[in-house]
Amino acid sequence: MLTRHLLLHRTVELTHAERAIVRAAIREVRDYAPRETVVAAGQPLSVSMFLVEGLVSRAVTDASGARQLVAIQVAGDFVDLHGYPLRVLDHDVVTITASRFAVVPHSALTEIQHQHPELARKLWFNTLLDASMHRTWVFRLGRLKAASRIAHFLCEINARLMVVGLSDGKSFSLPLTQFDLGEICGLTSIHVNRVMKSLREQQLVSLRKSHVVINDLRKLIRFSHFDPGYLYLNPSVHPAIMGETAQSGHQRPPGQPPVSG
Amino acid sequence: MLTRHLLLHRTVELTHAERAIVRAAIREVRDYAPRETVVAAGQPLSVSMFLVEGLVSRAVTDASGARQLVAIQVAGDFVDLHGYPLRVLDHDVVTITASRFAVVPHSALTEIQHQHPELARKLWFNTLLDASMHRTWVFRLGRLKAASRIAHFLCEINARLMVVGLSDGKSFSLPLTQFDLGEICGLTSIHVNRVMKSLREQQLVSLRKSHVVINDLRKLIRFSHFDPGYLYLNPSVHPAIMGETAQSGHQRPPGQPPVSG
DNA sequence: CGGATTGTTGATAAAGTTCAAACACGGTGG
DNA sequence: CCACCGTGTTTGAACTTTATCAACAATCCG
């Protein structure tokens, strides 16, 4: 059941049959060490990698060595599915922790495109989910200041981990250094350090020893202007993501579109 | 010949036959006024819009009104093709100038997906080109400072306009206000003003009365750390984009992959 | 145990924002 | 034709945010 988390709880989901087709397309399983480059920019690709377990980053590096992370991938993400139409990536895929991938040959994806157009459309959707997250990262970097950026990123990761059962909305494992957070949020690690201290002191959130503790999710969401619409989540998981219990939640008016903001 | 610029000079291009198929999928042509919302976030879609003429933005706005542009679309861009797999957008599509769109119903795209999988893959590629540009925008905001951000953005627009014949590499029309540039580069319009003055004084680039003049493209590219790999351009247009004439250009070693960086 | 990585703090400098006020320019209406 | 208006540009001064440099503490790993 390697693919059990692919497109889980999204506005577009895979059927059981489609899940079986994707599973059948897996050629092998590969393990990578921490901080290992899985795909280098410019390298021609013939397979795409589905992340079964671990934490992985996608990074843009320019000639002068400045590095910016453009995505973080968690278990259940089809990390470089976009390598299938693109054939070559514009960025690097680098593990953060030891990671396990399921490898899908592009020939199998071509086969799916020909035989199962509806499934192909869902895989297309999956790659556009990444694009939607990129847009939110642009917003985060362009419009939020340091503290909100970090809080906003942690809200995103919490939501995505909740979907795959790796966060309960209160705490979760996140093996990122403050330097990593800087490369994600466009900050120096020193400033990240000061901001984390402030977030801790405000009783909003803390990250110690690879473990995030969210003191008050709703307060954190308000503080960071987080709106999960861009994750295209199934409305049923929305309340949990937003820290709304049966009592605490604002009533959501019926008939509202699935994506807000 | 409304679609004459779709996927022009990219590492993946449409054949004449494919171009004809896309052209046949156009249902109508729609004109919009400047600063008009074409698609609002959250609104269910049944058509996608190809930009024939004009300048269009895609914008993320949060509840508190902060607005960040996440993409600029020029003639030849399939602006919201991603609305086909997504069904609903997470952001707004807003014209900057008066614009003309060719409207393609999603039913026609479904038809293409079933009948022409190879063309479908190229359309998929087209949407991932946007994602690649998003990544570069993340890099720009996260790692460059104000002056380089603006210079970098102008290099991108110059390259994209050259591909569709709307820039000669020295000057082009770009009807953006300094406020718009601020919403693109994550800056206040006041700071944009000061940076533009500095770029002008350094003889790098100027923007006056909706007209960009590039004094020295190669210098501007160096200054902004611009690397066009993420645009997936056909190698044949690369020298022109980089301001390399027959004499001035560095020799590109043979056998290099099409995407650098 | 020892070396390397990661986290913490202080002092100082640079970058960018905010607020306020003028200025330029292309309409438009009298 | 000119006065007026709105939009966009320009400038100054004070302030906030973030980076840089330097040092040291804590922690992890072999």
Nearest-angstrom CA–CA distance, A99 and A96: 8
Q: Phi/psi zone of residue A104: left (φ > 0), alpha (ψ -120 to 50 degrees), beta?
A: beta
Confidence of residue A252 (pLDDT cuts 50, 70, 90): very low
Task: For chain B, state the CA radius of gyration.
Answer: 18
Of A235, A157, A231, A237, give the one whose Cα is nearest residue B90.
Answer: A231
Q: Is the pLDDT of residue A87 over 80?
A: yes
Set of chain A residues whose Cβ sits within 8 Å of the Cβ of B80: none
Structure tokens at A62: 């320019």
Best A81, A109, A125, A134 member to test B by mutation, with max B CBs in 10 Å, is: A134
pLDDT value at residue A65: 87
Q: Is the pLDDT of residue A13 over 50?
A: yes
- Match 């599915």 to its residue by tokens: A81
Confidence of residue A185 (pLDDT cuts 50, 70, 90): very high
Is the CB of residue B258 less than 8 Å from the CB of residue A44? Answer: no
Mean pLDDT of chain B: 93
pLDDT value at residue A103: 98
Nearest-angstrom CA–CA distance, B141 and A135: 12
Confidence of residue A62 (pLDDT cuts 50, 70, 90): very high
pLDDT value at residue B249: 46
A150 touches strand C (CB under 7 A): no
What percent of chain A lies above the pLDDT cut of 70? 94
Rounded to an integer, the average pLDDT of A187-216 is 96
B221 DSSP 8-state letter: H
Q: Is the pLDDT of residue A250 over 60?
A: no
Residue B214 to chain A, least CA–CA distance (Å): 22
pLDDT value at residue A261: 39
Cβ within 8 Å, pair A113-B91: no
Of A82, A131, A138, the CB nearest to B68: A138
User: Mapped to the 3 state alphabet, what secondary structure does B85-152 carry?
Assistant: HHCECCCEEEECCCEEEEEEEHHHHHHHHHHCHHHHHHHHHHHHHHHHHHHHHHHHHHHCCHHHHHHH
Rounded to an integer, the average pLDDT of A23-47 is 97
Confidence of residue A249 (pLDDT cuts 50, 70, 90): very low
pLDDT top residue among A110 and A261: A110
Mean pLDDT of chain A: 93
Confidence of residue A106 (pLDDT cuts 50, 70, 90): very high
| Residue of chain B whose Cα is closest to the Cα of A80 | B128
Residues of chain B with pLDDT under 50: 249-261
* pTM (two decimals): 0.94
Nearest-angstrom CA–CA distance, A155 and A205: 10
Output the CA–CA distances (angstroms, integers) from residue A166 to A31, A53, A152, A218, in the order listed. Answer: 20, 11, 18, 19
Nearest-angstrom CA–CA distance, A257 and B43: 7
pLDDT in tens, B70-120: 999 999 999 999 999 999 999 999 999 999 999 999 999 999 999 999 999
B216 DSSP 8-state letter: -
pLDDT value at residue B246: 61
Nearest-angstrom CA–CA distance, A37 and A49: 13
pLDDT in tens, B128-153: 999 999 999 999 999 999 999 999 99
Q: Does A113 touch chain B (CB under 8 A)?
A: yes
Nearest-angstrom CA–CA distance, B250 and B121: 34
Query: Phi/psi of residue A65, each to 5°?
Result: 95, -5
Q: Is residue B253 classed exposed, middle or buried when 0-12, 13-18 and 19+ CB atoms within 10 A define those classes?
A: exposed
Nucleotide at minimal C1' distance from the B177 CA: D8
